């Protein structure tokens, strides 16, 4: 039977664990061809998986998650976060749970019940979650991770109602924001998380999109700038909100899409034109849009290995990003410094 926890209960006793000095936050963006699966290993050694990719497909996505875990040196997951209950995000979870020990499940609770795209995923996901400890979160909660601040900024269709550090400014592009009503699916109910390690900030919003995504920063920026942004809803047309990019001013953006899923041409044009964006990193090259340079793309049509992208962050705000396909690494020094890059490995 599921053991439901509040965030306050989960925080009890957390203070006895502290982050190891000088250790980095490791983030692996896993190629699940559009499912946005992301593995984080904290400086204290805790592991968090956000989404698990597709089910079926001969076990492809659970295998890719496990490969990233091996690369990261972890053999279990302390937390699994289901951003929302669609097959491309939680479909792979039941098979993964048969192979990997999972501590606590994090989600927003029950589905809408009117989204037919969620039916199969919910039937497969809920029995697994209900056999574990579960943490149902709401905006304003914090995940109980040691040495890392993790704010829940969206969940169940609601948004955080306070302004986080660095936010509070008006966003000019809000005046030009398109009216995009919620699509009636679980997408707009996605659990969104903001991770902070000192001056480094990483934002993952699942498939938050349309007006719900826009309201995150309009008329007032609730979040402030971030170092790295996992582009919401696979970079589809309904997450291509100029006001979001103006508010976040990410140094790097990571796009978890496939050759044909997500990554709309308009979204690519917006990303390439951002004045503050140093680089766009892609899990997959797109067939329909202007891709980033080859060194910033982890997988191409003829790739079956499911190469990851790894981000390693320090608390001074500096970080490096590495392409698992060819070893290409770019360094993003702490703000106010000059960047440099190196290359190891071969194509």
* Secondary structure (DSSP) of 206-251: TT--HHHHHHTTSSB-SS---SEEE-GGGG-GGG--HHHHHHH--S
- Distance, in Å, from the CA atom of 266 to the CA atom of 271, rounded to the nearest integer, reads 9
- Distance, in Å, from the CA atom of 15 to the CA atom of 18, rounded to the nearest integer, reads 7
- Distance, in Å, from the CA atom of 219 to the CA atom of 153, rounded to the nearest integer, reads 16
| pTM recorded for the entire structure | 0.91
Main-chain dihedrals φ then ψ at residue 164, nearest 5 degrees: -85, 170
Main-chain dihedrals φ then ψ at residue 74, nearest 5 degrees: -120, 145
Mind listing the pLDDT tens digit for each residue in 54-81? 988 888 999 999 999 999 999 999 999 9
- 144 with 14: CB under 8 angstroms? yes
- Distance, in Å, from the CA atom of 308 to the CA atom of 39, rounded to the nearest integer, reads 10
Mind listing the pLDDT tens digit for each residue in 193-247? 999 999 999 999 999 999 999 999 999 999 999 999 999 999 999 999 999 999 9
Helices (H), the chain: 7-11, 60-72, 87-90, 93-99, 119-129, 210-215, 242-248, 265-273
Under 8 Å CB-to-CB from 39, ≥6 apart: which residues?
27, 28, 30, 47, 48, 49, 50, 65, 68, 69, 72, 74
DSSP letters for 42-70: -TTS-EEEE----S-GGGHHHHHHHHHHH
- Distance, in Å, from the CA atom of 114 to the CA atom of 47, rounded to the nearest integer, reads 33
List the chain domain ranges.
3-8+23-330
- Distance, in Å, from the CA atom of 347 to the CA atom of 341, rounded to the nearest integer, reads 16
Task: Provide the residue-wise pLDDT of the chain in tens; the chain has 347 residues.
Answer: 455 666 655 654 443 333 444 589 999 999 998 788 999 999 999 999 999 999 888 889 999 999 999 999 999 999 999 999 999 999 999 999 999 999 999 999 999 888 988 888 899 999 999 999 999 999 999 999 999 999 999 999 999 999 999 999 999 999 999 999 988 899 999 999 999 999 999 999 999 999 999 999 999 999 999 999 999 999 999 999 999 999 999 999 999 988 888 888 999 999 999 999 999 999 999 888 889 999 999 999 756 679 999 999 999 999 999 999 999 999 999 988 444 444 443 33
Domain 3-8+23-330 -> CATH class: alpha beta
In the chain, what is the straight-line distance between the N-terminal and C-terminal CA atoms, in Å? Answer: 49
Burial of 66: CB neighbours in 10 Å, binned 0-12, 13-18, 19+: middle
Structure tokens at 333: 């020094």
Beta bridge partners of 29: 38, 309
Burial of 8: CB neighbours in 10 Å, binned 0-12, 13-18, 19+: exposed
- 216 with 204: CB under 8 angstroms? no
Structure tokens at 99: 């192979």
Placement of tokens 């990554």 in the chain: 263
Placement of tokens 């309201």 in the chain: 215
């Amino acid at each position: 039977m599921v053991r439901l926890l509040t965030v306050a209960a989960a925080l009890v006793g957390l203070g006895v664990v502290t982050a190891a000095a000088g250790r980095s936050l490791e983030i692996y963006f896993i190629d699940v061809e559009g499912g946005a699966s992301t593995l984080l290993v904290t400086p204290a050694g805790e592991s968090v998986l956000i989404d698990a990719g597709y089910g079926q497909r001969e076990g492809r996505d659970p295998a890719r998650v496990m490969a990233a875990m091996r690369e990261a040196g972890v053999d279990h997951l302390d937390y699994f976060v289901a951003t929302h209950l669609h097959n491309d995000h939680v479909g792979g979870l039941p098979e993964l749970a048969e192979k990997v020990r999972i501590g606590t499940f994090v989600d927003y609770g029950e589905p809408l019940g009117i989204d037919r795209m969620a039916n199969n995923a919910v039937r497969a996901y809920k029995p697994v979650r209900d056999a574990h400890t579960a943490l149902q979160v709401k905006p304003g909660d914090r995940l109980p991770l040691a040495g890392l601040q993790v704010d829940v900024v969206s969940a169940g269709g609601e948004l955080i109602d306070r302004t986080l550090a660095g936010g509070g400014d008006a966003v000019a592009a809000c005046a030009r924001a398109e009216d995009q009503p919620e699509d009636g699916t679980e997408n707009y109910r996605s659990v969104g998380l903001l991770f902070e390690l000192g001056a480094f900030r990483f934002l993952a919003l699942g498939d938050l999109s349309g007006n719900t995504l826009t309201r995150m920063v309009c008329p007032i920026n609730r979040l402030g700038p971030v170092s790295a942004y996992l582009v919401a809803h696979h970079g589809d047309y309904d997450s291509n909100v100029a006001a979001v990019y103006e508010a976040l001013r990410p140094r790097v953006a990571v796009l978890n899409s496939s050759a044909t899923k997500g990554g709309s041409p308009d979204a690519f044009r917006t990303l390439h034109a951002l004045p503050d964006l140093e680089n766009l990193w892609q899990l997959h090259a797109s067939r329909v849009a202007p891709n980033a340079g080859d060194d910033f793309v982890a997988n191409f049509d003829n790739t079956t290995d499911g190469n990851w992208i790894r981000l390693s962050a320090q608390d001074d705000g500096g970080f490096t990003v590495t392409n698992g396909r060819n070893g290409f690494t770019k360094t993003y020094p702490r703000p106010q410094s000059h960047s440099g890059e190196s290359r190891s490995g071969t194509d």
